[in-house]
Amino acid sequence: MTPTLVFDIETIPDTDGLRTLLDLPANTSDEDVANVALHQRRQQNGTEFLPLHQHRICAISCALREGKQFKVWTLGDPDSSEAEIIQRFFDGIEKYTPQIISWNGSGFDLPVLHYRGLIHGINASRYWDLGEDDKEFKWNNYISRYHTRHLDLMDVMAMFNARANAPLDDLAKLCGFPGKLGMDGSKVWDAYKAGKIAEIRDYCETDVANTHLVFLRFQLMRGHLTAEAYEAEVNLVRDTLSGYIAPHWTEFLAAWK
């Protein structure tokens, strides 16, 4: 069985980069830099959502299903640099060559990883292989929208039609899974400023758990899992998370119908 790796990132404004792009004084605080950038963005198009190359990654969480095991974790530790956690993500692809699975990864997570990897000089040769090193990658690689080494569940379910996109939180809850607990992407910057990086990492982990569960339901729907195999996979997730002692998993399991 090909390993599957569900992933999700959380981001904050790239204040160092924005200080350069906006030509702000070097002593301008990170919060002031972000406020200027967000204000300008709001004036330009009515939203504070920054262009993707102006985001900085503060957490990457993964759910790996490989062999007989399933695990959820966040790369690095709360003090790890952005470059370190990005390199670890691509090192995992190098090690496992998994099918990677996301919710809106094509529209957000992967482009941000591309830009930040470029900025930091990250090595991601396996990920970027289009068949030059491995001929199989010519016909199925991580980059092509219509290949399945990367499966963007949101994109596929919406038939690649942005007007049909659905939020992960809604779909997870409609399927009987917990959905988001206590935080969403819009609250990450405030949480980061408050020093709540651990809470951000916990939130990111629950997002990948939700995504993995929705993926299992998708696999059932398209006949890649029998009803019995689906139940076994769901029970593996539940049993694994029950063995984790962190409070966010207790809350997640309590919300799971």
Report CA torsion sign: 104, 106, 111, 113: positive
pLDDT of residue 5: 98
Note whether residue 257 is domain-resident.
no
Print the domain residue range for 87. Answer: 4-250
- What are the tens digits of pLDDT across the range 128-179? 999 999 999 999 999 998 889 999 999 999 999 999 999 999 999 999 999 9
Nearest residue to 108 (alpha-carbon basis) of 147, 50, 172, 157? 50
Note whether residue 255 is domain-resident.
no
Note whether residue 34 is domain-resident.
yes
The tokens describing 206, both together, are: 């629950």
Domain of residue 44, CATH code: 3.30.420.10
- What are the tens digits of pLDDT across the range 64-81? 999 999 999 999 999 999
Note whether residue 118 is domain-resident.
yes
Average pLDDT, the chain: 96
Note whether residue 170 is domain-resident.
yes
Note whether residue 256 is domain-resident.
no
Note whether residue 36 is domain-resident.
yes
| Residue 12 pLDDT > 80 | yes
pLDDT of residue 145: 84
Number of domains comprising the chain: 1
Note whether residue 86 is domain-resident.
yes
pLDDT of residue 146: 83
Length of the chain: 257
